[in-house]
Each structure stands twice: as structure tokens, then as C-alpha cells.
Amino acid sequence: MPIQGGLPPRNPHFVGREGLLVDVRASLGDGPVVLLPAAGHEIGGTGRTQLAVEYVYRYADAYDLVWWIPAEQPAGMRAALVGLAQELKLPEARDLDSTLGAVRDALSRGEPHRNWLIVFANANRPEDIRPYLPDGAGHVLITSRNPRWTAEVAQAVPVAAFDRTDSVDLLRRRGPELSAADAELLAERLADVPMALDQAAAVRKATGWTAAEYLRRYDERSAELAFPTPIRVAWGLSADALSEASPAAYELLELSAFLASAPVSWELLWAARGRVSAELDHTVRIERRLKAALRLIGRYGLADLDPPGESMLVHPLVRGMVGQQLSSERHAALQRSVRAMLAAADLGDPDNPAHWPRYSAIVAHLVHADVLGGEAEEIRQLVINCIRFLYARGDWDSSRELAAQAVARWRDDLGEADEQTLLASFHLANALRSVGRTADARDLNARTLRAQREVLGADDETTLATANSVGADLRMQGHFGQARQLDADNLVRYRRLFGESFPTALRCANNLAVDLRLLGDFRGARALDEQVLRHRQMIFVEGHPETLSSRAGLAFDLLGMGDYTGATEVLNGGHAEALGPGHPMALWAGRFAAIAARRCGLPQARELAEANVELFRQRRGDQSVETLGAVVSLANCAWVDGDLDEAQRLLERAVADYRAVLGAEHPFTLAAVTNLAGVVRAAGRFPEARTLDAEALGGLRRSVGADHPFTLSCANGVAADLIATGEAQRAREIALDTLSRSRVQRGAEHPHTLACAFNVSLDSGDELSTQLAIDELQKYCGDSHPLLTRALAGVRLETEIEPPPL
């Protein structure tokens, strides 16, 4: 049997379609196939989905993997594709588009399965699924009502009504007592439309109506309608019969008019208790009565139930016809009930992965219930939580789309200064930053923060959250000092309001430590990170993402202070591997481990760095700031190994990408230029190195100051450039100034200070001071470290830069 995912149950009443199944099978060999309603049946009801289900089960043995993707809404489609990524053992990227692209590419390559079948069900917008359509030896089957499918995307296969023989066969299988003549009469009246036939068979079985009774009722119902169609008449008879048998079950069906074509679990409907009519409330309050009502809806052919009867799926045509029957007052009342039901099903804490299945179930229905138009505060909070859930899950595009819709709607309905409008704006800015629209995020955050301070006050929790987000914007701009000032003010407010152990206060303290690291104050960052780590260890279990965040930050602090062994010990105690290799904390830990290994002189450093870069690219894409930091770390490994061509290639790409993402004057861009100058210098191209270093040094002095570790490393390189081009006196002046600043900034025992001291002594030509400098290096790094080897060979020592995480 193939690996399967998301498949609906097989229809035990499926009949006919033999020729159509053969045609679909043959056409799939030439590319994707889309099943469309045949001419004259544009609204559907011809059994496209059932045909796709039957194809899946009939030909399953021909495939290694079969995956069913509900594609009516992008969020549901993406969630199903994430499940497929997990089955394919692909690392899940924080950027969901990267994950989905990896799924498409893996299928196209046939890794690990060459023969696969992917079904996109109810894909009514070709543009939504086109980016995810794989190539390769596998097959793609699509069901849709939209005729706008071009031959370049998929081959259209029209699905018409049944042949009369198949209609009779279906009716007699569902009602064995039915004579062939009566079945012929029913099929003729129902125009051989599969959905109408299925509903007729179901309601006859549920009510015990004879063929004659059904036909009499059919003619009466048809005469009442201005534009009778087989589906509309058959549906009306089923709906009337259900309403008569159980008004509560019919009211439950009415709720489906405001829900999507996605399975609706009894647990979601259970949240309607206290929010519907007294009769329905009596049903939904008790699980067994609620499940019995679901079964009854299924018996009357008005919904499909999963085998355990835990959830129902209502066909879009049924939902549409239910909605058309409602008066404006009834429509408004039921819509309020559904909105309240969805809000009551909200578990809160959308960052908690344990709550994500519930949020996935809710998100599918937001549009159909027009939850954005809800008047109650708790309904709007549901929208905000869904925005945050989509962001936390990594579906930044869906988060951005929902947030943008909420902001636009609520600005009109509630005003731009409304608390929840502003909160949605905050979440929209987060999503914009994550999809690379950093300037838009920065502008929106600035406007939102000003409004929140005016309306809610500077100490409001949502105001503080936006201020934290503004701090992230400032870091992205390279304004590290301004970010520190803002985050320090936030931390004072958080601690005054909530105490220093409150989780959001700890996040703010964590952000302040990030600022200090970026400013080169590793001692200050270490003190803060150790404090935050202690508090988080008391609140969270070991291995929690927030605890690991503190460990990762502390490890980088120690790297910045030159304690490479201590950094390794901190990383080894964090259990980041429990989160999986693609988790952000695991990625950071992997990068920092590679840095520590390289600075300890261990041979496995480059292998660790290469694996880390690949994971970052899969997880965050080629141009994320985190990926670029990992690329710089890998380039440094290649540099130390003497592979100058590879180091230069990596650094030139990193410089170009940093300029594109952060700008030419950002400290990270200039840090990468500094490292590139070192590699060029090692290759003997001294004038080129001097030009690069001059550009970087001026920019770093302007942006982070003369005492920043980035600037000191660049100045050390400038001195080497000057020595190489014969300007010994100027080189000595810069080297002495750099050494003096490094002793103050980094400490006399820091390895980069020791390297600067060695360079000064080497330039002076004083053998005794040079030997003393070598002795200090040997005491620090041991006898076999590459740093000592270069010093003993009389080679100036480089002080390469490792950009911290933003």
C-alpha cells in the first residue's frame, strides 16, 4: 500500500464512470489533469470529487505516495502541504513558502518517491496552486468548478451527468427494493445528476418513501420554484424531511451556510452551546446528542461524515442552498451564532504548538463566517489570535493577508485609533518584516507605536509589544544604540508593571541583551543573558525554545569574550536537537558550535558550518540575515583552511546580499566587506584589500564607533594593508591605537587583543616582545592551534568578524 495522507473515505455507493476513470488515468501521463463540470452543469453536482476519490483508491497500488490537498483556501492547502513535507522528512522552514517550495522540488526530483499522486481538491483559483505544482514522473489531479484553467497548467477533463444505466444502478444499490422501472422514472426526473440521485436515494431510505411518493413530492416542490433544477428540488426534499425529523439537526445544518468546505468536528460545533436557539442548545450541550444529530444529517444525504462520525463535510452547493433559504433576520442571527461559536472555540496562546490543530480548524472558516465583521471584542480577538497563529506556524503570507484585511476593515468600522485595530497593525508589521518588506514594517510600526502611546499610554502591554517590534526595526536598520535605548526603557516599564520574571519582561530583557551584543558589550550581554536564563529555567522545562534562546545568546556572549570552551559547554547543555534541526534555536546553536570549533582550532569546524548553512538556506532562504551570518561563518572556516577562492566566493555573495537586504552602510554589510578584504589580502592583492578596508573602516566608525569590535577588527586589517604597501609608520600608529582600544574594549587576555599585540610586536621587529606575544598566545590556545602556527611562522594575525544574530 502507498503512503497516504488526508484521503477522504471511499464512497461505498460509487457506480459507473469506467470510461472516465480510464481517460483520467491515460491523461495523467501527459501532465496535470483538472476535473471540471461539463457544459450545462456549471454549478457542479456531477461528482467530480467522488470521481477523484474513486481514482485514488482504484489506482493506489500504482503509486508510492498519495496525498490529498484541500485547496479551497490557501491556508488549508498550505497546512496540508506542510504535512506532506513532514512525511517527506523535509526540514520545516520558518518561512512556510520555503517549506512548500522544498515539497514541490522534492516531488519533482522524485526524492524519496518517484511515483506519487497529489490531488488538489476544490482548487477554484488556479493562481493559488500553480506555485506548488510539481513536475516529474508523478501525477497531479485537480478538482475545480472554475473553467479558467489553461492547457499550460492542466488538461481539462469535463465530468458530465451519469449514463442512465449508471443512474439506475446507483438508485437500486441504495434501495434494493426499487424496481428497474421505478428507478428509470426517478433517474429521468432527476436528469441523471449524481448529486440529486444521491440525495434522493438517501432521503428515501431515511423516510421510507416509495418511488411514487418521492415523485409526487418532487413534482409539488418543482412547481413551487421559479427555476427548478434536479439538485435544487432534491435538496429541498431532503432538507424538509430533515427539518421535520429533527428541527435541531436542521438548525445545525443551517450553521454550515457560514462555514467552509472543510470538515467540521463535533468539538468545534460543541462550542456553540449557549450561543444558539434553545432547541439546538439542548442538542449541542451533550456530546452523544450532538453526534447523533450529525449522523442524522448524513443519513438524509446533506453531509458526508468521516467513518467515526466525528466530523461532517457539507458540499458547497448544499451550503449555498441553505443560505439562500434564510431570511435576512435569520441570516444575521445564525451568522452571529457561528462567529460566537468560533470565538468560544479559541484556546488562546496561539504560540503554543499544542493549540495549532484547533486554530487550523478555525482559520478555515473565518472568511465564510465573515468573522472580520464581528462586533464583539472576543470575536476580533479570535482574528488577532489567528493572525498570530499563522505567523508562529511560519505561514507569513497568510498571516500578512489576514492582518491586512483586519486592519483595513477595522479602520473603517472602528477607527484607526481603536485598540484592536492597532494590535492588528502590530501583527501586520511583524508579518511584513518576515516577508522582507522591512521598510513597510518599519513605517507601520512607527505609526502604530505613536498612536498606542497617545491612546493607550506608554505602559500598556500592547504598546510595549509594539515598542519591542520597533526595536527589531532599529536593529535591522543598524541603529543598535537607539534600539538599546528603547529596549532599556521598555524593560524598566515591563519590570515595574509585571515583575522581572514575567515571560514578556524576560523577552524584553533578552532583546536588550541582543542590543548589547550588537554594540560589542559582550560582558553586559552575558550578565543579562545569565539572569534571563535563570528565570526561564524556573518557568520553563529544559529544552523549551525560550530557554534555548537564552542559552544561544549566552553562548555568543562567551564567543565574543573569547571563552570558546565555555560557549561549547553552554551549547551542549541546551538539548536544542530535541526541537529538530530546522528550529531557529537549533540553527543558531549549530552556527555557534561551528564558530567555537573553528576558534578552538578543531578540524570539524568547516563541516559543521557547511551543514549549518544548508539548513539555514532550507529554513530561511538564501537572503535572510540569519542565513547570511551562517555564510560568513562558513567563509571564515574556508579562509582558515586556506581555501581562499571559496572564501572569496562566499563573502562576495554575502556582501551583495547584505547590501540588498540591509543596505551598504549597515554594520553587518561592512563587517562582511572587512572579512572579504582579509581574504583578498591573504591572496596577495594588497591594493584591492586596502580599498575594501578603507570603505569598511569609514562606515564602521560612523555607524558603531571607533571602539566597536567590528571597527577594531577592520583597523587591524588596515594596518596589515599599510604594512604590505610600504607605509610602516602609519601602520604602526593604527596598530598601536587598535591594541590600546582592544585592551579596554575586549580585555588584555582576549584572543583578538593577543593577536593585535603580536602584530604590533612583529611590526616593531623586537624579537623579545614578539616572543613574549607568542608565549601569551601559546598559553591561551595551546601548542597545536592554527593561530600559534601562523604566529611562529611570522605571519600577521587576522581578527575576523562573526556578526551576531539580529
pLDDT in tens, 666-696: 999 999 999 999 999 999 999 999 999 999 9
Q: If you search the block for the grid coordinates 486554530, which residue do you land on?
A: 359
When computed from its CA atoms, the radius of gyration of the chain, rounded to whole angstroms, is 33
Rounded to the nearest 10°, the torsion over CA 689, 710, 733, 639 is -40
- DSSP classification of residue 288: H
> Distance from CA of residue 434 to its chain's centroid?
10
- For residue 116, the cross-strand partners are 65
Is residue 3 over pLDDT 70? yes
Mean pLDDT of the chain: 92
**Among positive and negative, which fits the CA dihedral 140, 146, 150, 155?**
positive
Q: Is residue 444 part of a domain?
A: no
Q: Which domain holds residue 634?
A: 580-663
Containing 142, the helix (H) or strand (E) segment is strand 139-143
| pLDDT of res. 555 | 94
Are the C-beta atoms of 85 and 102 separated by less than 8 Å? yes
Quick one: 13 and 150 in the same domain? yes
Is residue 15 over pLDDT 80? yes
Amino acid at 440: D
User: What is the number of alpha carbons within 13 Å of residue 275 lying toward its C-beta?
Assistant: 20
Q: How far apart are CA 594 and CA 804, in angstroms?
A: 14
Q: How far apart are CA 278 and CA 272, in angstroms?
A: 11
- HEC sequence for 752-766: HHHHHHHHHHHHHCC
Which of 218, 249, 245 shows the shortest CA–CA distance to 234?
Answer: 218
Residue spans of beta strands (DSSP E) within 645-687: none
Is residue 619 over pLDDT 70? yes
Which of 703, 701, 706 shows the shortest CA–CA distance to 662?
Answer: 703
Q: Is residue 705 part of a domain?
A: yes
Quick one: 254 and 338 in the same domain? yes
**Cβ atoms within 10 Å, residue 748:** 12
User: Of 221, 238, 255, at which residue does a domain stop?
Assistant: 238
Amino acid at 645: D
Q: Is 155 helix (H, G, I), strand (E, B) or coil?
A: strand
Which of 612, 645, 648 shows the shortest CA–CA distance to 630?
Answer: 612
Q: Is 32 helix (H, G, I), strand (E, B) or coil?
A: coil
Q: If you search the block for the grid coordinates 511515483, which residue do you land on?
A: 115
Is residue 581 over pLDDT 80? no
User: Helix, strand, coil: what percent of the chain each, to 5?
Assistant: 65, 5, 30
Q: Model confidence over 734-754: pLDDT tens digits?
A: 999 999 999 999 999 999 999
* Burial class (CB within 10 angstroms; exposed 0-12, middle 13-18, buried 19+) of 443: middle
When mean pLDDT is compared across 446-460, 574-588, 644-658, 727-741, the lowest value belongs to: 574-588
Domain of residue 15, CATH code = 3.40.50.300
Domain of residue 553, CATH code = 1.25.40.10
Quick one: 426 and 493 in the same domain? no
Is residue 534 over pLDDT 70? yes
| pLDDT of res. 781 | 83
The angle, 0 to 180 degrees and rounded to 10, between the axes of the packed helices 709-724 and 686-703 is: 150
User: Model confidence at 152, in pLDDT bands (50, 70, 90)?
Assistant: confident
Q: How far apart are CA 489 and CA 506, in angstroms?
A: 14
Is residue 575 over pLDDT 80? no
Residues of the chain with pLDDT > 70, as a percent, come to 98
Quick one: 91 and 129 in the same domain? yes
Is residue 11 over pLDDT 70? yes
Q: Model confidence over 108-127: pLDDT tens digits?
A: 999 889 999 999 999 988 98
Q: How far apart are CA 279 and CA 337, in angstroms?
A: 14
Quick one: 753 and 706 in the same domain? yes
| pLDDT of res. 545 | 79
Quick one: 694 and 780 in the same domain? yes
* Burial class (CB within 10 angstroms; exposed 0-12, middle 13-18, buried 19+) of 167: buried
Is residue 170 over pLDDT 70? yes
Q: How far apart are CA 134 and CA 633, in angstroms?
A: 34
User: Model confidence at 141, in pLDDT bands (50, 70, 90)?
Assistant: very high
Average pLDDT over residues 25-51: 91
Quick one: 152 and 20 in the same domain? yes
User: Of 628, 663, 698, at which residue does a domain stop?
Assistant: 663
Rounded to the nearest 10°, the torsion over CA 529, 533, 535, 537 is 180
Average pLDDT over residues 459-463: 92
Which of 796, 777, 639 shows the shortest CA–CA distance to 717?
Answer: 796
For the stretch 106-119, what's the b/e string if a residue is b when 16 or more beta carbons lie within 10 angstroms of its beta carbon? bbeebeebeebbbb
Q: Model confidence over 646-664: pLDDT tens digits?
A: 999 999 999 999 999 999 9
Q: Is residue 575 part of a domain?
A: no
Q: Model confidence over 765-788: pLDDT tens digits?
A: 888 999 999 999 898 888 878 888
Quick one: 690 and 800 in the same domain? yes
Are the C-beta atoms of 158 and 19 separated by less than 8 Å? no
| pLDDT of res. 92 | 63
Is residue 578 over pLDDT 70? no
User: Of 345, 367, 387, at which residue does a domain stop?
Assistant: 345
Residues of the chain with pLDDT > 90, as a percent, come to 74
Quick one: 398 and 479 in the same domain? no
Is residue 576 over pLDDT 90? no
Position with higher pLDDT, 91 vs 672: 672
Q: Copy the grid coordinates of residue 154.
A: 492542466
Amino acid at 133: L
- Longest CA–CA span in the chain (Å) reads 115
Dihedrals phi, psi of 190, to nearest 5 degrees: -90, 5
| pLDDT of res. 557 | 97
Provide the pairing of β-strand 139-143 with 116-121.
parallel
| pLDDT of res. 464 | 92
Q: Is residue 443 part of a domain?
A: no
**DSSP code per residue over 486-500:** HHHHHHHHHHHHH-T
When mean pLDDT is compared across 469-478, 568-577, 607-616, 733-742, the lowest value belongs to: 568-577
Q: Is residue 259 part of a domain?
A: yes
User: Model confidence at 203, in pLDDT bands (50, 70, 90)?
Assistant: very high
| pLDDT of res. 261 | 80
**Among positive and negative, which fits the CA dihedral 397, 402, 403, 405?**
positive
Position with higher pLDDT, 735 vs 95: 735
Provide the pairing of β-strand 264-265 with 311-313.
antiparallel
Q: How far apart are CA 306 and CA 203, in angstroms?
A: 19
Q: Is residue 7 part of a domain?
A: yes
Quick one: 712 and 623 in the same domain? no
Q: Model confidence over 296-349: pLDDT tens digits?
A: 999 999 998 888 888 898 888 899 999 999 999 999 999 999 999 999 999 999
Length of the chain: 806
Q: How far apart are CA 198 and CA 507, in angstroms?
A: 57
**Among positive and negative, which fits the CA dihedral 457, 463, 468, 474?**
negative
Are the C-beta atoms of 554 and 523 separated by less than 8 Å? no
Q: Is residue 447 part of a domain?
A: no
Dihedrals phi, psi of 160, to nearest 5 degrees: -100, -175
Is residue 462 over pLDDT 70? yes
| pLDDT of res. 460 | 92
Q: 284-292 long-range contacts, Cβ below 8 Å, gap at least 24?
A: 284/252, 290/266, 291/266
- For residue 664, the cross-strand partners are none
| pLDDT of res. 543 | 76
Distances in Å between the Cα of 48 and the Cα atoms of 35, 36, 161 are 6, 7, 10
Quick one: 358 and 335 in the same domain? no
Amino acid at 49: T
| pLDDT of res. 96 | 72
- Split into its structural domains, the chain has a count of 7
Q: pTM, whole model, 2 decimals?
A: 0.80
Angle at 96 between CA 92 and CA 99, to 5 degrees: 45
Quick one: 139 and 174 in the same domain? no
Q: Is residue 563 part of a domain?
A: yes
